[in-house]
Amino acid sequence: MGAEVNSWMQLRDYREWWWGTNYQTEGTRRYETRGGPLMREPATYGGWMGVKTDTRKSLVVSIEGNHFRDTSLSHDTNADLAVQWNQSSAINHNLEIEFHNRKDDTQYLATVDVASHPGAQGIGGLSYLFGRIHQQTATVTLRTNLLFSRDKSLEIYAQPFITVGDYAEVRELIRPDTYEFIHFMDPAVNPHDFDFRFTAVNWNVVYRWEYRPGSTIYLVWTQGREQFDRRDFHPGSPGSFNNDIRLSSMFGTEAENKVLAKITYWFAI
């Protein structure tokens, strides 16, 4: 159960404003233990607000932010900046920058056997482990559309993406269908071993040629780079793992390139 109030308005100068607030009562998480017992979810509340400039102009800017938290003090904040530039009737560009900051009191880590971890309490012989995570995500999305003529166009898309996570304090669920945890006593399970970094850079270029009405040729080039790294992947040299947001980590991996072609033909029946 929950409740929400939201509003949107457009001013006389065509600027737009929107805002809202939401409250969700305590509920049940079915899949948080990855096939184990149910787990309670604390009550969650928060809100959002955004503004956009006159959409009739060649340059349109919008800003939006939201913040949510629950009664266990987990919280989630997201900020988004978007810029649209209509350079001409045939060329337009879009830039979107998004930053996400999340602190979650119960991020699932693993399920382990109580018998192999002295001091573990567990449920039915298994311990369901959770860690406190601080995760930060940054995304930049670029789009450009060029219309050469009615039947020829070019679309360009690029998106660098990076997310990093830092873990602290391993805890285990002690009773089904509750939000009750105790500190996991086995020091062999180090929360910092789960610290991670994932980066990706994707490019797409699509050329469209409608060589006859209803019949089109698409030529596509895509390039992708991605890398997932975790602190426990470097047991002999933990200092080699960098767990912060940095652009240099995005372009250090080998790129995968693909070239595709698609042809459609319209039959008059």
User: Which residues 6+ apart lie within 8 Å of 138 measured at CB?
Assistant: 97, 98, 99, 100, 161, 162, 163, 245
Pairing, β 16-24 against β 44-52: antiparallel
How far is Cα 90 from Cα 7, in angstroms, rounded to an integer?
34
User: Distances in Å between the alpha carbon of 198 and those of 30, 45, 111, 147, 161?
Assistant: 27, 29, 23, 35, 8
Q: Structure pTM?
A: 0.88
Structure tokens that stand for 260 in this block = 């595709």
Torsion of CA 207, 210, 215, 217, to 10 degrees: -20
Q: Where are the domains of the chain?
A: 61-264
DSSP 3-state of 233: helix
pLDDT at 248: 64
Confidence (pLDDT) at 241: 77
242, pLDDT greater than 90: no
Contacts of 217 (CB under 8 A, 6+ apart): 208, 209, 211, 261, 262, 263, 264
CA separation for the pair 28, 138 (Å, rounded): 30
pLDDT tens column, 131-184: 999 999 999 999 999 999 999 999 999 999 999 999 999 999 999 999 999 999
Structure tokens at 50: 């955004």
Over range 96-112, report the average pLDDT: 96
207, 151 Cβ separation under 8 angstroms? no
**Cα angle at 22 between 177 and 94, to 5 degrees?**
115
Instruction: Look over the chain and give the mean of its residue pLDDT values, rounded to a whole number.
Output: 93
- Which has the closest alpha carbon to 44: 66, 19, 27, 31? 27
- pLDDT band, very low/low/confident/very high, at 24 (cuts 50, 70, 90): very high
124: Cβ–Cβ under 8 A, 6 or more apart, which residues? Answer: 37
pLDDT at residue number 247: 67
pLDDT at 232: 87
**CB–CB of 31/23 below 8 Å?**
no
Q: Which residues contact 64 (CB under 8 A, 6 or more apart)?
A: 48, 49, 50, 51, 79, 80
Q: How far is CA 20 from the centre of its chain?
A: 21
**What is the CB-side half-sphere exposure of residue 206 using CA atoms within 13 A?**
14
The H or E element containing residue 188 is: none
pLDDT band at 243 (very low <50, low <70, confident <90, very high): confident
Amino acid in position 139:
T
pLDDT tens-place string over residues 204-238: 999 999 999 999 999 999 999 998 989 888 887 76
Q: How many CB atoms lie within 10 A of CB 102?
A: 18
